[in-house]
Amino acid sequence: MTEIIDGKLVAEDVVATVKGLTADLVGKGHAAPGLAVVIVGEDPASQVYVASKSKKAKECGFLSVQHTLPADTSEADLLKLIADLNADKSIDGILVQLPLPGHIDSGKVIQTIAPEKDVDGFHFVNVGKLGTGELETAFVPCTPAGSMILIERVRGKDLSGLNAVVVGRSNIVGKPMANLLLAANCTVTIAHSRTKDLPALARTADILVAAVGRPEMVKGDWVKPGATVIDVGINRIPAPEKGEGKSRLVGDVAFNEAAKNAGAITPVPGGVGPMTIALLMANTLVSAYLKAGLKRPTF
């Protein structure tokens, strides 16, 4: 029987751990972790994401600060705000909601965040730490970090000898995912749009991670029997069966087909998605623990 990996349940477990460790931290006389979220402009999807992140931070017992800036905010003003947050001792994590308006250089903004407060894991210092296996002090992007926890819940922490195929080479998911799997002793292949005979390569995977942003691209016969399948994709497609103009969410994996072969698989929605916000909370807590000179917590 295929195991459907319940990301919502695992995310709730991670958040419960964060709440408990936050209470411990405050009980030892330290300040509660502080998370500052910065949003520029009125993008509706970004507003929803930011609201859910701020709400979850408060639920964890964090100091939650939100800076909502108008769409015409200058790059200089945004960089000044980040510099102020870098210097603010009550803030442990800084998250700038992407995308930013076109007149602002996103790369410059991300690299301005202090690496020890970069809870999104996008600063080159954190990218370099992950790439060289310095995981004790690195911040890992939340989606691959959450995906890794789901894999470990199924396969255990030692993945020695397993073949992993990551479909997708983005800096946000594909590359960090591959580095995490390498650190866990997998043999890792990164596949992408130029890969020859992708279905045959996918069939070699004990762990198959799909992160390409193409609806249901990974078919059932791409999946090795018993493989663990992690579907990072979130794609909205038309759903005329629900009524005119209606849509539904699907992943990068054709779920019903793949579930017949997989040993374990994440659904969309309800798989990797809930883990992303949970790991943002975990990263913010880790930052507070490291600042206090305490041992890094694990999840």
- Please give the Cα distance from 180 to 64 (Å, whole number): 29
120 given a catalytic annotation: yes
Return the sign of the alpha-carbon dihedral for residues 202, 135, 46, 58.
Answer: positive
Whole-angstrom distance, CA of residue 177 vs CA of residue 290: 23
Q: What is the dihedral of CA 66, 288, 116, 150, to 10 degrees?
A: -90
Q: How many CB atoms lie within 10 A of CB 287?
A: 24
| Beta strand 34-40 pairing with 93-96 | parallel
218 in helix, strand or coil? strand
Which residues lie across from 231 on neighbouring strands? 210
Q: How far apart are CA 60 and CA 32, in angstroms?
A: 10
Interatomic CA distance for residues 100 and 69, integer angstroms: 11
Q: Given 56, 92, 97, 231, which residue is catalytic?
A: 97
Given 120, 206, 231, 252, the catalytic residue? 120
Buried b (16+ CB within 10 A) or exposed e, 12-35: eebbebbbebbeebeeeebebbbb
Active-site residue flag, 97: yes
Name the nearest CA neighbour of 215 among 239, 251, 188: 251
Widest distance between CA atoms in the chain? 57
- Mark whether 80 is an active-site residue: no
Please count the residues of the chain: 299
CA dist., res. 281 & res. 261, Å (int): 34
Residues recognised as catalytic: 53, 97, 120
